[in-house]
Structure formats: C-alpha cells, structure tokens
Amino acid sequence: MFYDITVVQASKMLDNLKVMLEKAAAFAETKKIDPEVLLTSRLAPDQFALIRQVQICCDTAKLGAARLAGKADSAPKHEDTETTLDELYSRIAAVQEYLATFSAADFTDTATREISLPWLDGKKMLGSTFATSFVIPNLYFHITTAYAILRHNGVDLGKLDYLGSISFID
C-alpha cells in the first residue's frame, strides 16, 4: 500500500505536473510571454512562486519515499537552483528515476517505522502517520497550487491535466 500511494502515485503526479508545465510553455510561446513570468508567479504575495512549488513537489516525492523506505540517506540532493522550464523538467525526471529504484518490498515495515523529521527539531512519527498526514497531503497541496498558479495566469488546463490517466476495469 505505501509503495502505491507514495512511489507509484507520486511518479504519476509528477508526470501530470510535467504536462502542466509543457502546456505552460506552449501558452507562453503562443502569447509571446516570457516563461519566467509564469515561473515567478504566485497566488498571494506571501506564497511560494511556481518554481518553488515544483521543487517542493519533487522534494516531497523523493524524500517521502526515501524516509518511508528507511533510505533517507540515498535520496539525491537538489540545490533548488532551477530557473527555467527545462531545468524543472530535468529535476522531475531525476526524481522519477530515483523513485523507479524502489520496489514494494522496500515498504514492508513502513507502517511502524519511526520517521525522523530533521526540520522539526528531530521530532518523530510513525511511517503510517508520516505518509497519510504529511507526504500525501503536502504533495497534493503543492501540485494543486502549481495548477492554480498556471490557471490563474490563463494556461488552458483542466481537471484531466491534474488527474492524468485513469485506469478503468474493462
């Protein structure tokens, strides 16, 4: 379960995020807008810009999976220096490549694994709580915010761009 809701779903949502960014690039080209205008846009003055939203999506996906699998030290480091769409595409691809190194077997003890939260003065929580109370909501919050920033700026996105492909039972 934890593999599916973190690795598989996070990778899918990063695919969807890339599609949204590609549509943003096409929009900028069509409207003769510098893509930087979109990349530095935000919904509110005290909220992160689009670039930072994408960086946080990537960090949440890779570090969430790494911590839940007990492999926090294996996660690639990114310095948050991206300034272009191409650099964001590369970061998304690098995170997806990293996520592809995990298997369901890596998550067998996740529910009861103690997860250390270095940004919260070393506080800990169980893996099940970390996955459901932080990783998943945080990933969706920042992807939703990226979507909202692009829509607010006129990029033609719809719900299916956010949801991506859906598997149906025949």
Print the SS3 string covering the chain: CHHHHHHHHHHHHHHHHHHHHHHHHHHHHHHCCCHHHHHCCCCCCCCCCHHHHHHHHHHHHHHHHHHHCCCHHHCCCCCCCCCCHHHHHHHHHHHHHHHCCCCHHHHCCHHHCEEEEHHHCCEEEEHHHHHHHHHHHHHHHHHHHHHHHHHHCCCCCCHHHHHCCCCCCC
Residue type, 72: A
Contact partners, residue 57, CB within 8 Å, separation at least 6: 13, 14, 17, 139, 142, 143, 146
Least Cα distance to 14 among 103, 107, 95 occurs for: 95
**Distance separating alpha carbons of residues 126 and 115, to the nearest angstrom:** 6
Task: Name the CATH superfamily, with its identifier, for domain 2-162.
Answer: dinb family like domain (1.20.120.450)
Question: Which pLDDT score is estimated for 117?
Answer: 86
Q: What is the pLDDT of residue 170?
A: 79
From first to last of the 170 residues of the chain, give the pLDDT tens digit: 899 999 999 999 999 999 999 999 999 999 999 999 999 999 999 999 999 999 999 999 999 999 999 999 999 999 999 999 999 999 999 999 999 999 999 999 999 999 988 888 879 999 999 999 999 999 999 999 999 999 999 999 999 999 999 889 87
Closest CA to 15 of 167, 166, 161: 161
Q: Distance from CA of residue 83 to its chain's centroid?
A: 17
Residue 55: the pLDDT is: 99
Q: Over the range 20-49, which residues count as b (16 or more CB within 10 Å of their CB) and which as e?
A: bbebbbebbeeeeeebeebbebbeeeeebb
